[in-house]
């Protein structure tokens, strides 16, 4: 978690949301992994600029590596996507991970994706 927090403090402003699909959605027995699909969203202008897109992709890789190392979680798939490509159906299916307290302590919460 500390490495995710450090990465989000550094570049979290590039990401507008982290959304997770967790299977099964209910509590399971110890030793059984939760299967997780993760989508990170960013504004189109972030993904259109080479420098900011590269930093956002690097942040995506850091977060995915850390999720993969958590015991009991099997990260099935992850992807950085434009907000324009993230649908209302996606928002209904995936849960938003609230990390805003890390990346927006002194920033602007209006930059986050709608919940």
What gap in Å lies between CA 90 and CA 93, rounded to an integer? 5
Domain ranges of the chain: 2-104
What architecture is the 2-104 domain classified under in CATH? 2-Layer Sandwich (3.30)
Residues 6+ apart with CB under 8 A from 89: none
What does the alpha-carbon distance between residue 70 and residue 74 come to, in Å, rounded to a whole number?
A: 8
Instruction: Report the distance separating Cα 88 and Cα 94, nearest Å.
Output: 10
What pLDDT does residue 106 have?
Answer: 45
Full-model pTM: 0.82
Rg of the chain over Cα atoms, rounded to whole angstroms, equals 14
Segment 63-110, tens digit of pLDDT: 999 999 999 999 999 999 999 999 999 999 999 998 655 544 444 444
Q: pLDDT band for position 27 (50/70/90)?
A: very high
The position carrying tokens 């080479």 is: 50
């Amino acid at each position: 978690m500390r490495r995710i927090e450090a990465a989000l403090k550094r570049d979290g402003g590039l990401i507008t949301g982290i959304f997770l699909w967790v299977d099964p959605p209910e509590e399971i027995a110890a030793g059984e992994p939760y299967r997780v699909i993760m989508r990170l969203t960013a504004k189109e202008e972030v993904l259109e600029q080479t420098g900011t897109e590269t930093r956002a992709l690097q942040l995506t890789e850091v977060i995915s590596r850390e999720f993969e190392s958590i015991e009991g979680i099997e990260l099935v798939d992850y992807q950085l996507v434009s907000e324009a490509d993230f649908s209302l159906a996606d928002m209904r299916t995936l849960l938003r991970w609230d990390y805003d307290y890390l990346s927006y302590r002194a920033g602007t919460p209006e930059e986050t994706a709608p919940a």
